[in-house]
Amino acid sequence: MKKIVIETAKILSKKQWAPDLNLINLGPFSKAGIIKPGQFVHIKISDTDILFRRAFSVFDTDAKNDSLSILFKVFGRGTSRLAVLPKGAKVNIMGPLGNGFSFPRRKEMAVLAGGGIGLPPLYLLAKEMIERGYDRKRILIFYGGKTRRELIELNRLRGLGPKVICSTDDGSYGLQGFVSDAIRKLISGKSENYRIYACGPNGMLKAIDEMAREFKIPGQLSLEAPMPCGTGICLGCIVPLRAGGYSRVCREGPVYEIGEVLL
């Protein structure tokens, strides 16, 4: 908890991919450079009657400029308000929060699976792996959405260098079907040492968790849950564990090992 700070930052830039899909760059935030892939920040929108903060996975960071970016979809009052704030508007950021991903072994094939707005922590993971000297050929990124419209920042994602395999539920772009289906086709009958990382809708995470346990592939899942406090006090984000008991997604998570959580 010592590294967590609460600071006021400004919206440095914003990009709207669709009426309900937004990418916002925020700064300065003094801890931007230490945020790990998979960690999140808790944002309070200034000058509103919205009491609770909203949790957002970090999409990208820039340590030189002390900035970070978040990618989000409009769901309710909080995200609706955040989406319409102009450049220069102030928000209050608390973070970094939660536990991030652990990096794979150099000889493992890293399979990164993102569904919809589950892309942010996986983009940051791929970026940091490459900055640490990992072989781009040993990183595969699977990115899926309901339609082509939900697949955003593709040029930025491909610009990292790893192979990107896209899929859509309706077949409007890339492979038709779910991300988990595309990964199953990849690993079936292969002897490669894989390690899976995934973030996305709960149904996708459940399918990947079951598949990874079936093929005995290690990996980690990043979960989403309501997080009113973000620090483990309110117990609003608990999930059941396979071994028994419960876990706080905001404190012990949001990253869990394959098979650890009952989805």
Same domain for 121 and 175, yes or no, is yes
CB distance 165 to 174 below 8 Å: yes
What CATH number is given to the structural domain containing 244?
3.40.50.80
Q: Are residues 113 and 93 in the same domain?
A: no
> Rounded distance, CA 242 to CA 261, Å?
5
Give the residue carrying structure tokens 């339609």: 147
Same domain, 89 and 125: no
Q: How far apart are CA 82 and CA 73, in angstroms?
A: 10
Query: Residue 98: its pLDDT value, please?
Result: 96
Query: How many domains is the chain partitioned into structurally?
Result: 2
**Does 127 lie in the same domain as 15?**
no
Above 60 in pLDDT, residue 251? yes
Model pLDDT, residue 226: 87
**Domain closes at, from 71, 97, 123:** 97
Measured distance CA(120)–CA(132) in Å, rounded = 19
Q: Over range 248-262, report the average pLDDT.
A: 97
Residues 202, 251 share a domain? yes
Domain assignment present for 262: no
163 and 203 part of one domain = yes
pLDDT of residue 2: 61
Does residue 33 carry a pLDDT above 90?
yes
Task: Answer yes or no: is pLDDT of 184 > 70.
Answer: yes
The pLDDT of 148-166, averaged and rounded, is: 94
In a domain, 252, yes or no: yes
Q: Are residues 171 and 249 in the same domain?
A: yes
The residue-averaged pLDDT of 179-201 equals 92
On whether both 138 and 251 belong to a single domain, the answer is: yes
Angle at 148 between CA 74 and CA 218, to 5 degrees: 85
For residue 189, being part of any structural domain is answered with: yes
Would 144 be classed as within a structural domain?
Answer: yes
Print the domain residue range for 29: 5-97
> pLDDT category, 183, cuts 50, 70, 90?
very high
* CATH number of 22's domain: 2.40.30.10
151 in a domain, yes or no?
Answer: yes
The conformational region for residue 259 under phi > 0 = left, psi -120 to 50 = alpha, else beta, is left
Mean pLDDT of 29-58: 91
pLDDT confidence of 189, banded at 50, 70, 90? confident
Q: What's the one-letter identity of residue 25? A: N
Is there a single domain that holds both residue 129 and residue 253? yes
Is pLDDT of 197 > 80?
yes
* Predicted TM-score of the model (pTM): 0.95
pLDDT confidence of 191, banded at 50, 70, 90?
confident
H helix intervals, the chain: 77-84, 119-131, 154-158, 179-187, 202-214
Range from 23-37, 180-194, 207-221 carrying the lowest mean pLDDT: 180-194
User: Same structural domain for residues 173 and 87?
Assistant: no
For residues 187 and 123, the model is more confident at 123
pLDDT at 231 over 80: yes
DSSP string, 136-199: GGGEEEEEEESSGGG---HHHHHTT-SEEEEEETTSSSSEES-HHHHHHHHHTT----EEEEEE
80 and 128 share one domain: no
pLDDT per residue as tens digits for the range 131-156: 999 999 999 999 999 999 899 999 99
The answer to whether residue 116 is domain-embedded is yes
Q: Which of 30, 65, 97 is a domain's end point?
A: 97
* 53 and 125 belong to one structural domain: no
- The last residue of a domain, from among 97, 119, 147: 97
> Quick one: what percent of the chain has pLDDT higher than 90?
85
* Burial profile 168-200: b = 16 or more Cβ within 10 angstroms, e = fewer: beeeebbbebbbbbbbbebbeeeeeebbbbbbb
Residue 81 lies in a domain: yes
Q: Is 150 among the domain residues? A: yes
